[in-house]
């Protein structure tokens, strides 16, 4: 049995009455009873006046207001009777308990967590999660504190995601936290929806807001990234230089500019590669003598 099936409370609507007409009715009842006492008619209608004052005073305790994207759970002696989502001034029997809950969208940024990625490298990670209460009954009665529950589940899901994927180096076709941010965010949102469903909450969006190597290895990993960038740049430079040398030899041969034997071709190729692949600008040397 999954935890979403254990003692699950399902939200259901409840019956409440519009508050404005009832408020006017109770005010008129109290005002009329006071009028009876002031005019002296209270002696004749003493019982009716007392009843009107009692009803008006007790009835005033049943009013509550609901703003847009709010809900009020109604309980009778601890038993859940339903949820009222109608906005405005509402009224129920005064002895019913009312618990208000916000259904608005909330934005939470988790703390920076220090965890180990799939390769065991310590990293710092944090997430920004947009969530809302979807089922008021589950949020109020199936978890102790739904806001605290959501924060703990966000941290747990984030740790789980970080432990199953590498920071930025993985086998071909495998997701990485840095290189596949969109896919990782989608997975994080799915995990959170599964975890928060027990509390009647739903995640609209989840994003990695912070991702970095931990301080103790940040310097070493930066050097590693720089070395990889240099190697990639060198490979691109060499590939381009080889293509340029090949094109130069082909053009010289086609146009008949000069005829070179294999030894001179090798020397020319070596010189061109040195010039094209060097970090510094080449210093030209003018040969005033014979080529051979």
Residues 231 and 189 in one domain: no
CB atoms inside a 10 Å sphere around CB 98? 15
Pair 229, 150 in one domain: no
What DSSP letter does each residue of 24-84 carry, written as one string?
Answer: HHHHHHHHHHHHHHHHTTTTTTHHHHHHHHHHHHHHHTTEEEE-TTEEEEEEETTEEEEEE
CA distance 162 to 9: 32
Domain boundary residue among 159, 186, 213? 213
Domains held by the chain: number: 3
Q: Using alpha carbons only, give the angle 119, 121, 125 rounded to the nearest 5 degrees.
A: 110
Give percent above pLDDT 90 in the chain.
14
- Whether 9 and 58 share a structural domain: yes
- In the numeric block, the tokens 């220090």 are attached to 114
Same-domain pairing of 190 and 243 = no
**Alpha-carbon torsion angle 188, 189, 190, 191, nearest 10:** 50
Domain limits for position 146? 106-213
Q: Do 197 and 133 have their domain in common?
A: yes
The 10s digit of each residue's pLDDT in 63-101 is: 889 999 999 999 998 898 999 998 889 989 889 999 999
Could you tell me if residue 287 is inside a domain? Answer: no
Residue 72 near residue 98, CB atoms below 8 Å: yes
Whether residues 250 and 154 fall in one domain: no
Distance CA 184, CA 117 (A): 13
Rounded to an integer, what distance in angstroms lies between the CA atom of residue 37 and that of residue 50? 10
Strand partners, 18: 90
Predicted local distance difference test score (pLDDT) of residue 131 = 92
CATH number of residue 126's parent domain: 3.30.479.30
Domain boundary among 213, 234, 256: 213
- CA–CA dist 84, 72 (Å, integer): 5
Q: What is the pLDDT of residue 125?
A: 86
pTM above 0.75, yes or no: no
The whole-angstrom separation of Cα 277 and Cα 244 is 11
pLDDT less than 50: residues of the chain: 1, 4, 286, 288
CA distance 16 to 170: 58
Domain presence at residue 292: no
* 203 within domain boundaries: yes
């Amino acid at each position: 049995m999954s935890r979403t099936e254990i003692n699950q409370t399902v939200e259901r609507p409840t019956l409440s009455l519009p508050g404005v007409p009832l408020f006017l009715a109770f005010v008129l009842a109290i005002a009329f009873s006071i009028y009876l006492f002031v005019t002296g008619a209270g002696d004749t209608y003493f019982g009716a006046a007392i009843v009107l004052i009692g009803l008006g005073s007790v009835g005033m305790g049943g009013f509550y207001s609901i703003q847009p994207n709010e809900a009020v759970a109604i309980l009778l002696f601890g038993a859940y009777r339903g949820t009222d989502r109608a906005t405005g001034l509402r009224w129920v029997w005064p002895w019913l308990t009312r618990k208000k809950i916000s259904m608005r969208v909330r934005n939470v940024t988790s703390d920076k967590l220090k965890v180990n990625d799939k390769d065991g490298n310590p990293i710092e990670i944090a997430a920004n999660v947009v969530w809302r209460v979807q089922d008021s009954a589950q949020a109020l009665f199936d978890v102790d504190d739904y806001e605290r529950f959501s924060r703990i589940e966000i941290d747990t899901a984030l740790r789980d995601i970080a432990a199953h994927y590498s920071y930025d180096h993985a086998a071909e076709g495998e997701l990485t936290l840095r290189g596949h941010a969109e896919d990782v965010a989608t997975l994080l949102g799915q995990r959170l929806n599964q975890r928060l469903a027990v509390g009647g909450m739903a995640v609209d969006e989840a994003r990695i807001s912070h991702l970095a190597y931990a301080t103790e290895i940040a310097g070493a990993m930066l050097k590693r990234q720089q070395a990889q960038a240099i190697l990639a740049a060198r490979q691109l430079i060499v590939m381009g230089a080889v293509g340029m040398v090949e094109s130069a030899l082909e053009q010289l041969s086609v146009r008949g500019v000069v005829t070179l034997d294999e030894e001179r071709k090798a020397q020319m190729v070596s010189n061109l590669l040195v010039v094209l692949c060097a970090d510094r600008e080449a210093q030209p040397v003018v040969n005033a003598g014979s080529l051979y």
